[in-house]
Homo-oligomer: A and B are copies of this chain.
């Protein structure tokens, strides 16, 4: 076995070096949600990572910041849900979710699509949510905004497929991150009890799991996954 393993390792090293080394990866809102985990993982894989710390991603900002289109775009956008009954939804809360989750995603994809199509390759991985796959009571605004993101990526992924560009989303839930699972929530007995009754794995997953899935979707070898919303939620949704 030893010799085989040694040979395998050589192949592995070479193989992996060829996948992401020298690739440019642009991670949005890199200090929030899955930004840190994903940026760390791509760096570990040898990519050249830009940790962008913006939120709104208006056209002006995109033109200034993203004059050069990266190989891989991680569209990581986050805004905590406002937990409220339907009749108590506030216009400001509702609008904020669309302003911070939906419209920036469109602007980012609009900005990079043309150049990616022109050069015949490119990867867009949106980090969205499993919430709209199953629905969450008292978080309908959040479901709506994340549902808009997921549906947008489906259309975008199908549209870009024949140009050699792949767009997909990771629809996660119950994955550790500071935005949705701050330490105080993670220690809240009601939250722990909810985990136990609602999540088949009975726990919150690690950020590394999302990061590795993002790396799979951004792998240059992977061209056949397009327009997919891949659930990553401890079995909360199948």
Contacts and interface: CB of A to CB of B under 8 A. Distances in A.
A96 interface: no
Interface residues of A, number: 94
Interface in A185-238: 197, 200-203, 205-206, 208-209, 212-213, 216, 219, 221-235, 238
Contacts of A13: 9, 13
Contact of A152 (B143, B152, B160): B143
Contact of A45 (B12, B48, B89): B12
A142 B155 CA distance: 9
A137 interface: yes
Interface in A81-98: 85-87, 89, 94, 98
Given A15-B44, A161-B235, A155 B144 contact: yes
Given A8-B44, A231-B228, A235-B226, A162 B209 contact: no
Given A44-B12, A110-B89, A224 B205 contact: yes
B228 A162 contact: no
Interface string A124-155: 00000001101111111111111111111011
A232 B238 contact: no
A53 interface: no
Contact of A161 (B9, B114, B202, B228): B202
A17 interface: yes
A231 B43 CA distance: 28
Given A147-B147, A224-B233, A235-B157, A201 B162 contact: yes
Contacts of A87: 110-111, 113-114, 117
A17 B16 CA distance: 12
A36 interface: no
B174 A155 contact: no
Contacts of A9: 13, 17, 21, 46
